[in-house]
Amino acid sequence: MDSKSALRVRMAAIRDGIPADQRQAKSEAIAQRLISWEVFAGARTVFAFVSIRSEVRTRPIIAAALAQGKVVGVPRTLLAQKRLEFRRVRDLTADLVPGPFGLAEPGPDAPLVEASAADLILVPGLAFDERGYRVGYGGGFYDRLLAVATGAVAAGLAFEEQLIERVPDWERDRPVGWVVTDKRLIACAADRR
């Protein structure tokens, strides 16, 4: 775990160090690549996180999914249960309230969207490798989600600077199948050890 903790600090500093105007341009490139991807086009239900701090900006992606008539689930963090539940949003302003960790999330009365309904899950992270392993924020929330949402395509969203040669992986870690960056769409191969 020490190696992941050190990697979290290092990769957060790298991501935070990307100038804001470049982060915006890179986020736009990621959104364009994702929205034009056939998996996104064919997805009826998309689970998406609402970005914070220096993360890839996801509001334009969510807005595009809503404009295309997709069901969009956004996570609510259930701290006591150490898991995420996804609730439907139809309006990025009216349907979101402040949650833990400074996250914008749906209110508790928003309709629940079961993990089994997800066609595409967009996954945040601090670092990714081409096998699909990632370093998140240390709670294991997305690993638990990906363990049960086995019918969905999981795609990490990252700036090219967040890709590293190898992320330390543990038995409980769940890789994503794809990573979408500002420069490319990577089909991951988790079995490459």
Amino acid 190: pLDDT: 60
Average pLDDT, whole number, for the chain? 93
- Compute the distance between CA of residue 104 and CA of residue 85 in angstroms, rounded to an integer: 14
Q: How confident is the model at residue 2 (pLDDT cuts 50, 70, 90)?
A: low
Amino acid 1: pLDDT: 47
The H or E element that residue 13 is part of is helix 2-16
Residue 103 has pLDDT above 70, yes or no: yes
Catalogue all structural domains in the chain, each as residue range(s) with its CATH number. 2-187 (3.40.50.10420)
pTM of structure: 0.94
Starting from the edge strand earliest in sequence, which strands make up the sheet with 83-89, in order?
Answer: 112-113, 83-89, 71-78, 45-47, 120-123, 153-157, 178-180, 185-187
- Compute the distance between CA of residue 157 and CA of residue 155 in angstroms, rounded to an integer: 6
Amino acid 23: pLDDT: 98
Q: How confident is the model at residue 4 (pLDDT cuts 50, 70, 90)?
A: confident
